Amino acid sequence: MAMKDGLKIIPKDDIALVEWDLEGEKVNKLSSAVMMKFQKMIAELKSSNFKAVVMISRKKKIFIAGADIAEIKDLNEPEEAKKAAAGGQQIFAELEDLPIPVIAAVHGACLGGGCEMILSCDYRICTDDMSTKIGLPETKLGIIPGFGGCVRLPRVIGLQGALDIILAGKSVIGKKALKLGLVDQLVPEAILEQQAMKLARKVIDEGAKKRKKRFSPKGAANAFLESFLGRPIVFSQAKKTVMKMSGGHYPAPLKAIEVISKTYGMSNRDLAMDIESTGFGEVAATSVSKNLISLFYMTEDIKKQNGVNDSSVRPRKIKSIGVLGAGTMGGGIAQLAADKGIKARMKDLNTDAIAKGYQAASKIWSSQLKRRRLDKYQLQQKLDLLSGGTTYDGFQTMDVVIEAIVEDMKIKQSVIGETAKHCSDNCIIATNTSSLSVTEMSKGHPKPENFAGMHFFNPVHKMPLVEVIKGEKTSDEVTATVFDLSKKMGKIPVVVKDGPGFLVNRLLLPYLNEAVFLLEEGHSIEFIDKAYLKFGMPMGPLHLIDEIGIDVAVKVAKIFHEAFGERAKPSELMAKVVECGRLGKKNGKGFYHYDERGKKGAIDNSIYADLGLSSPKSGGNAEEAVNRGIFAMVNEAARALIEDKIVDTAREVDLGMIMGTGFPPFRGGLLKHADTVGSSKIVADLEQFSSKIGPRFKAAAPLAQMGQNNGKFYN
């Protein structure tokens, strides 16, 4: 009873074992073609003599990854998208309405449409393996669950638990799924099929009972909030949280709240599903969804790449790394490596520094332990992979050494040369520099082909980007190895050519510089930062300068001024801020106040007097203020991409800016946003800014040329 594409019915006496193993695919996904075949299978099961169904996947660590995102990407009209969702809903309704009980046996990823499928089943069993994750990540793609997830999940696990998963696009491991009531049993992978068949037999013996488990508020932590009277409170609070987290820029979570509020408790399934499919259609056709899906493909493409143009180049296998420096960056890099199962040894000048590195790592893991992201055994495993000392002991066997010491070229060159003496000839040494030339630094290495840049962003365990910097003599094999190591450490790597500021910091500088110029012109800190927050940036530019360290920003600004000339000349106000003893978050005093834990407080209004500024303006043109900073970044991006070829594609610019600076994902990235605005409009505004404010806004030659016919970065 096999069907095409690896969807099979295997008779096991009076039980139908349905196997998912799509041919030619690494994962099981619910494309339109697969859904049609599944619908035919459901009809076959309905007319058969089977008394129960068990569904299982034969893919390694994958149950069903979800719907085919490529098909969602091509849905451009709300009615078209609604129709697609309604089609999936109908098939899962037919699954739910089978006259015999259906048991889902889940191992591995069960996401999106996969989760919606098992919600249509009578019973759910999953494995306790960490690869088993069940959830609805749709809002991360700018859509809502459209195959019944908004309707069924609240009925299975309750309103509060369902909102938590759907609004954040979360997935949960098996242990959490069991606690929520999302699954009925948790078993080891080795006995999953056996236990599912055993459950099917038990149900048959008890009279082949259908069972639609529905959440009952009785005994819930707060039954009132699940009640008719309590629900408005839950929905109101959920909306407030979404608005606070997203600024209202992402319509999908708000639409999900609307759909769930209308359908929760509704007895008419068809009407509830119609409300959901209508909501799905409304958000699936938005530019926000298209941009988030584009970002998804960007990150997926990274998984398939090796970081160089030659696909035959293979990265070296990395089992251990050394880290020079146990400070904020070095300690963070060592912790991250150990967290991902790579042995990491820190070296610093004294034991106090090493102890601080251990403490920082332990703090991160202890937090995960407290939130039950790992257990005590897993914590000990990670700690065992981390070591440190004041000598080069152990460096002889290291595959890679990452340097994260003071930003001084001569010191770095000296330390790199010294380190190379204590390592094997094949050991790769990478620098975590944020601004210094990798090519120049490689002169300190006896084998510059084994030297590269590996620029992490702070905080290391949170920021997803790593810039892999290829010096003039860096070999393709070394580049591919650092690229692959970045992925193994859970990061998104972007390969960049050596140059001042590489990619992200080079584009970020004019943005930050412009914010200080706005302050100098009399605009308030509140006005500047609020304008950019409204645009969608995760924090205002002046707040970001505080986070970076105002003294660091001044130092980097000088480097850029020397490299790029007058267009990168910083505001004189920047140095004055440091002269006033304001370093930002690190000493609790910057544009904002910070408490002893580094938590941001109110604006420090005394800064105006300290800088000799009069009382700031009460308002201003927010759109112009934002465009000054954003268009300055676009201008510099045109130079970096087209003139200097720091990266090869606009996609890499956008990936770097989203992952490295938090540029609003809903806008698709810096250059996707530029294409949306139009190069002609950007060039015209830059010309206006140039004549009114200063020549730093003069449109770069490649951008000016694009503007003549409103050309695009994305062709």
Q: Which residue has the tokens 């493409």?
A: 301
Phi/psi at 312 (nearest 5 deg)?
Answer: -80, -15
Q: Which residue has the tokens 């988030």?
A: 292
Rounded to a whole number of angstroms, the distance between the first and last alpha carbons of the chain is 47
CB of 357 closer than 8 Å to CB of 364: no
For 404-435, give the secondary structure using H, E and C: CCCCCHHHHHHHHHHHHHCCCCCCEEEECCCC
Token pair in block for residue 210? 């259908």
d(CA 352, CA 349): 9
Q: Which residues lie below 8 Å from residue 118, measured CB to CB, with a gap of 6+?
A: 55, 63, 104, 106, 110, 124, 134
Give the Cα separation of 222 and 218 in Å (integer): 9
The DSSP element (H or E) to which 330 belongs, if any, is helix 328-339
Give CA–CA dist 639/702, Å, rounded: 7
Neighbours of 541 (CB within 10 A): 25
Contact residues for 84 (Cβ-Cβ < 8 A; gap 6+): 32, 71, 72, 75, 146, 284
3-class DSSP assignment, residue 677: helix
Instruction: Give one DSSP letter per residue of 125-163, joined into a string.
Output: EEE-STT-EEE--GGGGT----SSHHHHHHHHH-HHHHH
* Catalytic one of 107, 445, 455, 523: 455
Residue 291 CA to residue 73 CA, distance in Å, equals 9
Q: What is the DSSP string of 67-119?
A: E-HHHHHT--SHHHHHHHHHHHHHHHHHHHT-SS-EEEEE-SEEETHHHHHHH
Which tokens is 218 given?
Answer: 């009785």
Angle between helices 231-246 and 159-168 in degrees, nearest 10:
20
3 state DSSP class of 16: strand
Q: Residue 142 and residue 163: Cα distance in Å, rounded?
A: 16
Q: Tokens 């449109």 — which residue?
A: 699
106/128 Cα distance (integer angstroms): 10
Other Cβ atoms within 10 Å of 715 Cβ, number = 6
62 forms bridges with which residues in the sheet? 109
Q: Which amino acid is at 129?
A: D
In eight-state DSSP terms, residue 643 is I
The residues, any chain, with a CB within 8 Å of residue 498's CB and separated by 6 or more, are 437, 438, 439, 453, 469, 470, 471, 472
> Is 523 considered catalytic here?
no
Task: Tell me how far CA of residue 680 lies from CA of 43, 383, 649, in angstroms.
Answer: 57, 55, 21
Residues known to be catalytic:
455
